[in-house]
Amino acid sequence: MSAQPLSASPRLLIPKAEYADGHVPEPSRLEGALENNARLEEQVIQLRSALAKARRDLQGTRAGERRARHNADHDGLTQLPNRRHFETRLEEALAEQMTTRQGLALFFLDLDDFKQVNDIHGHAAGDTLLRVVAARLNQAVRKEDVVCRLGGDEFACLLRGLSQTRQLMQLAAKLFDSVAAPCRLDTCELSVRPSIGIAICPQHGMTSQDLLAHADAAMYRAKREQTGYAFFETPA
């Protein structure tokens, strides 16, 4: 009697549960919980993404505000403080001077015959020269001093703690030499001669308007007499 081969055991098929009417039952509580967790995770991801975008937008807004404040207070060409900002700093220094009595002086600087630079070499060369002058003035004064571009080819320097004639003469000579040094621009070499007017607080004024006006008057005297710099002289 030959042995009969064993047939493979039949696979057990478990039909999907159905109600009598053929309706498939709702997912189990575990399946529902997993689906809820997945939805929550997706919402968390979306919230994190929205929060990150809000932070970027806020940083961009703050950066824009800083740029706007900087642009409002600074000259676009030289990036020096503009006249408005300079006058604010001068008012603050005068208020401080009332209590400290440490001395304060104002330089008003103008470039002689600057118009010829624009006429002969073009406005681009003139703008570059103004930027060079601005940088040289900033390098020649102390960190606590304030250099500004008042407009055109006019600059001003606010000097705290300085009121002695000899000190101011030495600084004026230093600024004159720094600005008047030749400047190489592309294929040409340019140089301009500055005229510097000096006003001292309180001898020549106690207000920003008086000091600026008197330093301006002294500058015109230096220009007229070709002395490089001059102090304001009180009319007799």
For 200-233, what is each residue's pLDDT tens digit?
999 999 999 999 999 999 999 999 999 999 999 9
Residue 138 pLDDT > 50: yes
How far apart CA 217 and CA 153 sit, in angstroms, is 16
- Tell whether domain 83-231 is in CATH 3.40.50.920: no
Report pLDDT for 236: 61
Give the predicted TM-score (pTM) of the model.
Answer: 0.72
Residue 192 pLDDT > 60: yes
DSSP annotation of 15: P
**Does the annotation mark 153 as catalytic?**
yes
Quick one: residue 228, left, alpha or beta (phi over 0 = left, psi -120 to 50 = alpha)? left
The per-residue pLDDT for range 51-91, each reduced to its tens digit, is: 888 888 777 666 666 666 766 889 999 999 999 999 999 99
Mean pLDDT over the full length of the chain: 85
How far apart CA 49 and CA 174 sit, in angstroms, is 57
Q: DSSP assignment of 176-212, as one string?
A: HHHHHS-EEETTEEE---EEEEEEEETTT-SSHHHHH
Domain ranges of the chain: 18-73, 83-231
> Could you count the other beta carbons within 10 Å of the beta carbon of residue 193?
15
Which of 75, 110, 145, 153 is catalytic? The answer is 153
